Structure 1
Amino acid sequence: MDANIDKIIDDSRLKLDKWRDSSLKKFNRFYDNKCDELERYYTQKVRQQQKEIDQLYKQLNEFNQKQNTIHEDNLNELQTNILNVKQKIAETEQKFISIHIRSLAIDKNLIIIGEMKIQEFDLTTLLLPYQTLNVSENFGFGLATTFDQLFSIRLDIKYVSYQLPIRCCSLQDNEWLVVEANTSQLFHIGREGKLKGTVTYDQPPYKVLLFGSNILVIRTDSTINFHEVWH
């Protein structure tokens, strides 16, 4: 019995090992890319400064060829500029390059052991429900990769003379949220294409997007609102 348990654990751990190896490769690739970017940045900066010096020396040679017509103040200014650029190059070689690094945050839900509990989106936790039934319109939902229609649903939307675009975003568990700006309505569509809830937003919603699993972003005419969605 214990041998079987150990074998199951070892076999399952292979999946974790594979994930770790794959993640380390991605991390090392990212690190190598940043090292290359750092080298390009430094080389480009020094090359630009060297180009400035070459240009100044070129002007100096031209001045030397026209000594009778060049004012001494102009020559002194040019020599000063050359010294200043050389000083900048020396400072660049001695200083560290500014690098801004954020700590690597690891989501504790990145790996879930055991059965994964699918959280159901609840529109009523966002704001109080409100429903308006008028003119009906049909909407189709499909796969972005093939454009095959998954289902269609009839939504009761009040008709106005100028119809603003109707937007939607996908939620967890193959559900959808439709926003209609003319009447400020939000429609919660279930995975089987059934209407699960309708509420009225306090401002006309023009666009909607779900970040992560519980941050719903709604853009209105003058604001971008972030809502924490409770399940």
Structure 2
Amino acid sequence: MSQLCAIPTCKYKSSTLCSCCNKNICIEHVKEHNDLRKSELKSLNDETITLNDQFKTFDIDKLIKDSCEILDKWKDDCHKIINCYYEQKFQELERFLTQKIDQYRKEIDQIQSTIIDSIDNEKFTEKNLQSLKLTIYDIKQEINKMKEKGIQINIRPFILDNHTISIKDSKPNAFNINTSILSSPYHTIECIDGWQSELASNDQSILISLSNNLCLFDRDLNLIKKSLWTYECIYDMCWSSTLSNFIVITNKNKVYRIHETTLSIERIYGIEDKDWLSCTCSDTYLYLTTREIGSNIFQFKLLPLIRPVKQWQPPYSCKPHESIHAIQYNNRTLALIIRKSFGGVINIELRSSTTLNRIWTLPLDIRSSGVWSRINCSSLQYDEWLLAHTSTSRFFHISKDGTLNIIHEYHPKFNNALMFGSNILVIHLGKKVHFHKL
């Protein structure tokens, strides 16, 4: 038996199955459907003509120029790293040569003293004389060798592979905290539960505190270097591309610099002892915040020597009754995690890194139960942000304009979290560290 036309207002019997909507309709409505499809196709054709016209006026040279700014910044950053490394090695060479010359001078002075003493006291034997001659001969050989061949310097070749820089669509895969964090970690590091869970990274390596050790891993999570941390409790760590060092602040008001490859530790004495809490670096400056109600922000010039240049106090840093939990630099801006008052709501504010003027502020669904409960901030691609709050074990994904995209609760509870590059989220649980690929 024939069905009625699928159009609700039509009382005629259907005569055919429409290939577009797969519904049984009458002859009259078949014509209407065909006319509608033709109209839609014509509209699509007009859109393609408009798109084609846009391509004709497309300024590809401007697009290349704008995109090249990223490459130019990478080139400039690499030059800064190389220049800084060169200066370090130049100073090391100066120290080595100075110590070497001083050593030779002391040996020659000692020989002269021995000779004079032997002449005055007439106490020398053939054996002593031959020994002095041999020592002088050895020193002369060393000095002549140094003059002819210089100092041995072993240099590894600087290697770049084709994967160092990748060129893709402007935003091929947007960050999705649900799919990224709900998935199982692709790698886990087991450790004894230590008293620190600190993290700091650059694009090539990540520094992790594991069982009272500082461990440096590369992008493939191979252990590069491991060093026992025998100093004070670490409050925060950050990376300085200008110095090629990690910066570490401790609960004893001290600030250290740690070499990227050797993990050698050097205290920075150009920074006044204060109750520091958090740190971050731009290409030019180091920013430190104080651990107090009415927190201060200090700005330090990195080169040629680390020295203070600016200080922001309340009400410019924060209000007198507020405190700054964390600070993070990205693209000429500073993200500040600010708590309104004891037990009050926590906000994230985006400020200018030069003037500290507020760009936007966002209240978060967080009420800090402890005075200094940890909440960290990582910059994402496209100037977005990821906040990690340990007390509630939650992540907050925030867009470029200060809009809260999503909140996600992570299980089990974690001690710390940080982005490693643009596509790896590192979550420190205390007894283990999880790595999630985004």
Output the TM-score relative to the length of structure 1.
0.63
Distance 1:176 1:87 in 2: 62
| Distance apart, 1:179 and its partner CA | 1.3
Q: Distance in 1 between matches of 2:359 and 2:79?
A: 41
Question: Percent identity, aligned pairs only?
Answer: 21
2:350 alignment partner, one of 139, 142, 149 = 142
Q: 2:413 & 2:176 partners in 1: Cα distance?
A: 20
Tell me by how many angstroms 1:144 deviates.
4.7
Q: From the two aligned structures, give the one with the greater strand fraction.
A: 2
- Give yes or no for contact 2:394–2:407 (8 Å, CA) kept in 1: no
Q: CA deviation at 1:122?
A: 0.9
Give the equivalent residue in structure 2 for 1:50. 101
Q: Note the C-alpha offset of 1:142.
A: 1.4
Confirm whether residue 121 of structure 1 aligns to residue 175 of structure 2.
yes
**Mapped partners of 1:11, 1:149: distance in 2:** 28
1:182 Cα deviation after fit: 2.3
Matching of residue 65 in structure 1 with residue 116 in structure 2? yes
> What is the CA deviation profile of residues 191-226 of structure 1, one whole-angstrom value per residue up to 9, with x for unaligned ones?
4422413121434232x3323321223344355544
SS at match of 2:158: coil
Residue among 89, 104, 124 paired with 2:160? 104
Alpha-carbon spacing, 1:196–1:14, altered in 2? closer, same or farther (3 Å) = closer
Summarize deviations over 1:87-127 as a string: whole Å, max 9, x none.
54555554742112330246443x66xx6226321112333
The alignment partner of 1:127 has SS state of: helix
Give the alignment of 1:5-16 within 5 angstroms: none
For residues 10-66 of structure 1, what are the alpha-carbon distances to aligned partners after superposition, in whole Å with 9 as ceiling and x for unaligned? 777777999999988887888788778777665654443333222211111111221
Rounded Cα–Cα distance in structure 2 between residues aligned with 1:22 and 1:176: 21
* Amino acid across the alignment from 1:198: H
- TM-score, structure 2 normalization: 0.38
* Aligned residues: CA RMSD: 4.6
CA distance in 2, matches of 1:137, 1:21: 41
Q: State the distance in 2 between where 1:48 and 1:20 align.
A: 42
Unaligned regions of 5+ residues in structure 2, if any?
1-55, 184-342
Q: Which amino acid aligns with 2:99?
A: Q
Aligned residue number for residue 164 of structure 1: 373
Which has the larger displacement, 26-35 or 164-173?
Answer: 26-35
1:209 to 418, 427, 436: 418
| Between structures 1 and 2, the one with greater helix share | 1
* Secondary structure of residue in 1 paired with 2:377: strand
Give SS of 2:378's match.
strand
